[in-house]
Structure 1
């Protein structure tokens, strides 16, 4: 297939234009791509790493008969001034500290309680735990919704990077060597070129799946998608994924957060008292009665771990038992009365088509959709993608003259019609890509004569 023949330049960009787009997209994206590969690889092993980090706490648990769960909750509340009960994480092993999540103001504390002695073994800020730090760095650069917007733009331009890279890679004769299999016996730039081109080709399809499955988490695209679904009559009581920088209390309690809602506002939704008055605490104790019976029901249900037990939002309301398993198709939730009777069970199969589709995508993205094979595939893709990204940087550094960018020269031909249509469609589907393209067009019109890199 000749993408670069003299007859095709009207529909498709010539090779010079593709090189230029690929170069600038890579210059912007590759540092972020390497960071995403590292943080994503760490997140694949979130359960194992969290267990390792908490090992000393769990080893400190005393031997003996555990006290009631409500007593353990009260011990955790006493350890956090002005706090209120947000959730309890069901134990997944026999000898394990009880994890009680306590909201206080705009923060959430994870309190580790010895179930036998009711002694506080540790108290940690939920946002600074390993899992949350890696999650926020991976999707938000630790700066909230602005970071989410940046990462969404990176994802959009990485799609351009993949498409232009595949068009440049497309074989134009010759065998599999250098196109399907890297020529590892070469040295210098040809060696790094093969690592980049062949490695990028093999991971391109999975990489696009990663990028697309991550969009529902992003602030702009995810918010727009949620708004469209609401417009067509979809109603979700509990959203199964985060959109942008969601208050940690909303994530843990399972209550949908409104745009701009703070953790403190989420805390008040969950029955907390902002001023910590006696009347507020009495109301909270009344609405949170029945934990022991609900805990016993949760043990019998045996949902896939980790399982969170969350209290009702008002006196007389129902408790919720929710599985937060990383393999989202296995997630299940139950509504339970204060007496422990199950009134409703919601399974993954009961969700709407779009929710199930996103659930499958997220589970694949996190490496838990089809077990160890999914984990190994994601780890392999991250490794090869990091190698291809590093190879691209080495190629550029070897070619670049000191003090020069040495970007590929701009093509004298006008933008091809087919490429323009594709970019317009992508710009509509990916708002950050569209906005950045408009900015580039404007910058070219204003400064293109003075700065050749903008043309």
Structure 2
């Protein structure tokens, strides 16, 4: 007779192991939150400022002035003359009005200074001017992207975004119903609870509902970051300039069309070389044998299907090109499928390049859609959703602090982090998650390794420091 031994794990031990894994996830969530929460709070607040400033006055200030529609429009060349009369300098950009009640905008450079000039498109009368990229939107955008400290700020935010993924994963693990409780206990906040339990219930429920959107925001934001974005993902997914057959290329890339660090060019094109004027390359554009004037370029733009708001970049040098563009990055359109940029030889008027959404790679298409969603450009529903999302992130950041404060003993001189006291096996799933974050987000991974080494070699050997951080 054979005897089959019972090798199953006793229920008590299984519960202990599960509890250990729960505390481990909570500990990671706690420490990641210490670093990430202040950044999330900053990103949500500045994001709301940009969202509503763009909605009320326009990203470029196009809603500051309103005009009375008339039967006909003045030539854009006459509007440009009015802009030059308002601010003498080099006109480098024209932005067509989105609606019949909005003014035309011209960007005029005076040395290192840059101004926006509003012009009535019907009467060609200048309405006023202001410093470009020097308003509330732009201050919020600079804080949002660099903390006003350049590359250092960009890297700090990138690290926070990478650890934000850890927060989402560990948060969902902590959210999962346990102890025979159903999903309703976490899908619906327990408003009858009191004190810390009420804060915890609201934190769990709201955190669950915004987790997927948060991942989309983190990834779309990370793709603009200096390491993971520009050097890791963008480098291999940019639009290849080689697709423009027999077209001379400039030493400049499309990133040169950005101004003062503000992202305006579609992500998939930033690292792509610009075409150059001065050859017979390209296909038919403006009428042959006629001067390539500003009005001729505008007529061509309309013929190519650029209606309502679009932007026209003027040639910046002897080899520069006219660049007609419409994209969600610049708030021109609410539909990323309509993204398009056309480059025209300044001497021949021939079209050197015509790139649209369909020409982007998979990552470029995802970014075009992701940024439009990220900025709330897809319509009223998107505006409302992003507003609610930012408010939710503010609540999660604040409630995390409140829960810690309520759990912390009065007078405690340490962080009071969750402590894994009972010994047990390695949490393989958790280890794989942390390894995955390290591989996918190298800057966050490098910081994670550095912190682990610091803990192993320094912190655990200095009792007062270990106590303070525990």
TM-score after normalising by structure 1: 0.78
CA distance in 2, matches of 1:222, 1:165: 25
SS of 1:442 mapped into structure 2: helix
Question: Post-superposition shift, 1:367?
Answer: 2.8
Give 1:291 shift: 0.4
Q: Which of 354, 358, 362 is the matching residue for 1:349? A: 358
Selected match of 1:179 from 177, 186, 189? 186
1:152-206 Cα shifts (integer Å, max 9, x gaps)? 1111111111111111121112234432211112221111110011111121122
Separation in 1 of the partners of 2:41 and 2:92?
36
Indicate if the aligned counterparts of 1:103 and 1:249 stay in contact, CA closer than 8 A.
no
| SS of match in other structure, 2:187 | coil
Q: Is 1:292 matched with 2:314?
A: no
Look up the match of 1:28: 35
Structure 1 residue 89, shift from structure 2 partner? 0.3
Give the drift of 1:433. Answer: 1.2
Residues 307 and 322 in structure 1, CA contact (< 8 A), matched pair in contact too: yes
Task: Provide the rounded CA distance (Å) in 2 between the counterparts of 1:295 and 1:109.
Answer: 22
Match of 1:437 among 430, 448, 451: 448
Q: Deviation of residue 395 (structure 1)?
A: 1.4
Unpaired stretches in structure 1, ≥5 consecutive residues: 260-265, 271-287
SS in 2 for 1:101: strand
User: Do 1:304 and 1:323's aligned partners in 2 also have CA atoms closer than 8 Å?
Assistant: no
Larger Rg: 2
CA spacing shift, 1:251–1:425, aligned 2, 3 Å: closer
Among residues 211, 218, 225, which one is paired with 1:218 in the alignment? 225
Mapped pair 1:373 → 2:365? no
Q: In structure 2, which of residues 185, 204, 214 is the aligned counterpart of residue 207 of structure 1? A: 214
SS of 1:248's partner is coil
Quote the offset at 1:296 in angstroms: 2.7
1 CA distance for matches of 2:201 and 2:394? Answer: 14
User: CA shift at 1:241, angstroms?
Assistant: 9.7
Change (3 A) 1:368 1:240: farther
Contact 1:70 1:291 in 2 (8 A): yes
Q: CA deviation at 1:102?
A: 2.0
Are the equivalent residues in 2 in contact too, given 1:11–1:418 (CA < 8 A)?
no
Deviation of residue 103 (structure 1)?
Answer: 2.9
Residue 205 (structure 2) aligned to one of 198, 211, 225: 198
Gaps in structure 2 of 5+ consecutive residues: 1-8, 278-290, 328-332
Do residues 446 (structure 1) and 458 (structure 2) align?
yes
**Count of aligned positions:** 425
Alpha-carbon shift at residue 425 of structure 1 (Å): 2.3
Confirm or deny: 8 A CA contact 2:344 2:351 kept in the other structure: yes
TM-score (norm 2): 0.76
Alpha carbon RMSD of aligned pairs, Å? Answer: 4.2
Q: Aligned partners of 1:23, 1:241: CA distance in 2, in Å?
A: 41
